[in-house]
Amino acid sequence: MPTSTKNREPKKKKVINYKSCFDIIGPIMIGPSSSHTAGAIAIGEVANKLFHGKPKKAIIKFYESFAATHKGHGTDYATMSGILGFATNDPRVPNALEIAEKKGIEYEIIEMDGTSPVGHANTSCINLIDDDHEIHVTGISVGGGTIEVKYIEIDGFTLEPQGTLPILLAITTDESLKPELEKKLKENNVKINIITRYAQNDKFLFQFDLDSQPPKALKNELTNYNTKDKIILL
């Protein structure tokens, strides 16, 4: 099990992200705010995909605007909705905290003092934990339900993504998985912006920063690729 990441959020210079008017229209969603609700669901969904299962405990830290307004804007139940795998328009979204309790998920929501560790007002840091493993993700909501993932810890690897989603992660003990996935993405006309390689003991993590989401058929194939490697599309 990786070392606890509760107090290890990265420190970065404050930046401001603006999107076009088309980006801030936002998705179909349970309100009230695309930034504070739909974006929070999307960050929770990233944590859900990274953890891949039901956690025993969720630790959710909110910074700045998220910390000040999460109760009124529903950022708390929205984040849990993403952790539970609910879509933005799922009618269960407002009841996500109660549903998590019924599922036996212990959760802690912490309103953090001070500025965001990644320089954005709408920042949340999520740890999901069970007896066998723990993941950490720090994400920001930049408007219209759009998010950026700034920091990830998974299976002993630490990542600080520089681009926007989508990102494909592949954790393996076999380096030949990289060219296999690279070939499949190119065959499906998915442009790869950059590939980053990480090594940890006898394991490797390949981070594919993609220009667009893969087509549905390829998504299904990647989800069921094999049993020995961990492939995660964010």
**At which residue do the structure tokens 């956690």 appear?**
55
> What pLDDT digit, counting tens, does each position of 163-190 carry?
789 999 999 999 999 999 999 999 999 9
69-83 tens-digit pLDDT: 888 788 999 999 999
- Reported as type and span, the H/E element at residue 102 is helix 96-102
- State the Cα–Cα distance between residues 229 and 195, nearest whole angstrom: 17
The per-residue pLDDT string of the chain (234 residues; one tens digit each, 9 = 90 and over) reads: 333 333 444 444 444 443 444 344 444 444 445 565 889 999 999 999 999 999 999 999 999 999 998 887 889 999 999 999 999 889 999 999 999 999 999 999 999 999 999 999 999 999 999 999 999 999 999 887 889 999 999 999 999 998 789 999 999 999 999 999 999 999 999 999 999 999 999 999 999 999 999 999 999 999 888 888 999 999
What is the pLDDT, as a whole number, of residue 227?
81
Please state, in angstroms and rounded to a whole number, the distance separating the CA atoms of residues 100 and 7.
24
Q: Cβ of 9: how many Cβ atoms within 10 Å? A: 19
Q: How far is CA 72 from the centre of its chain?
A: 23
Q: Domains for the chain: give ranges and CATH numbers.
A: 19-154 (3.30.1330.90), 162-234 (3.30.70.260)
Q: How far apart are CA 1 and CA 59, in angstroms?
A: 16
Rounded Cα gap, residues 130 and 82, in angstroms: 18
Phi, psi angle pair for 30, to nearest 5°: -80, 120
Residue 33's pLDDT is: 55
- Closest C-alpha to 139, from 113, 160, 155: 160
Cα(234)–Cα(85) distance, integer angstroms = 13
Q: What is the pTM of this model?
A: 0.84
